[in-house]
Structure 1
Amino acid sequence: MSDEKQGSQLDLIMEFFKANPKRDIAHPEVVDWVVKQWQMRTGKVFRDPDRGIRNLHQKGYLQKISKGIYRYDPDFVNLREDLEDFSTSLKKQILERDNYKCVICGMGKREGVELHIDHIKPKDLGGKATLENGQTLCSRHNFLKKNLKQTETGKKMFIQMLESAKESNQTELIEFLEEVLKVYEKHNINGHIVWKK
């Protein structure tokens, strides 16, 4: 997504919140309005308004009241200057390094997949906009990752793959995935994500 498009989509989300100040608003209400307005104004689909809302919260424009509920209060905007976005040239470097493919599934422009440049360590957890902290993800895997740590995303993905492999009785894949998940347990990584054996 171009920086210009991203900016105008965030502007549209803020337009909604500024028209509804000091009110607790659930995601669906914002999303419905934003998607409809974007379609009317541009003729295009607004792909992930939820991510835009989270982005504005991370930057300090919106207050998170509870899960999926945000508020815009002009008296309490707390902008975070420490959140770093990737520059256009750095995005290009990351795409080139990753061969214009998602580092998780290998899909890319050739397959018509939308690619995103993602912070491996999320911005709001102190992740910097550096070549080493950047990775190419397809929109699907980027949306799945959200603000989870990389290892959490991986563990959830391996658990889902294991369930799928068991359904289709893929013995070799089952053994491989169970071995990977045992490594998570051995090193006590992401114990809060439960692998039901």
Structure 2
Amino acid sequence: MKDTGLKLTCRRCGKEFVLSRAEQEFYEMKGFTLPTHCKACRSAKQAQPQSSRLACARCGTELDKEASVYCATCLESANLEIEQKAKQIQMAASAMRTRLEATEVQKAELAEALRQKEQLVAELESKVESLSQDLDKVQQFYAASGWLEPVLTEIQRKLEDLEHTQREINQKMLQTIRIMQERYENVSLLEIIKRNLRQSLKEGA
């Protein structure tokens, strides 16, 4: 069976190198990540003093002594991540500000509704007080009607007596008129006047 090698690119020198099948199995068995440098660069790296070697803190690529802790690629990626996180934070802050503004609007609406409710309660209390005063007046009227009722009853009785007396007077007047009509039915008006004059002269003498 032909050995299948894996072609990789050295991160230090940029040259391609082949990782054999046996080497791949060795790295897999040990749980190591695949090498990022060729054998020559790895040997040179091991030969250099530990203090003189700088590597990217993110991907492990060797850096110059004056370089930052990240390589250019990782630094750009880190900057992009920072920008993305900054945008996310900005969006979250904007959303929070929008919610706060909505909360302030709701707070103002609730305050206005509460003010209207308090005004309505005050109006209802005023109406209740007015009704209480009216009720007191009604109670006072009923209390006063206790002594007014006999007076009103007496007045009603006297009115009935007056009506009865008036009816009797009317009946007597009608009877008198009938009697006068019957008495003087055949007497002329001139005769009636003469009789009245004679009666008046007698009473004057």
TM-score by length of 1: 0.26
Bigger relative contact order, structure 1 or 2, given CA contacts below 8 A and separation 6+?
1
Determine which structure has more spread, i.e. the larger CA radius of gyration. Answer: 2
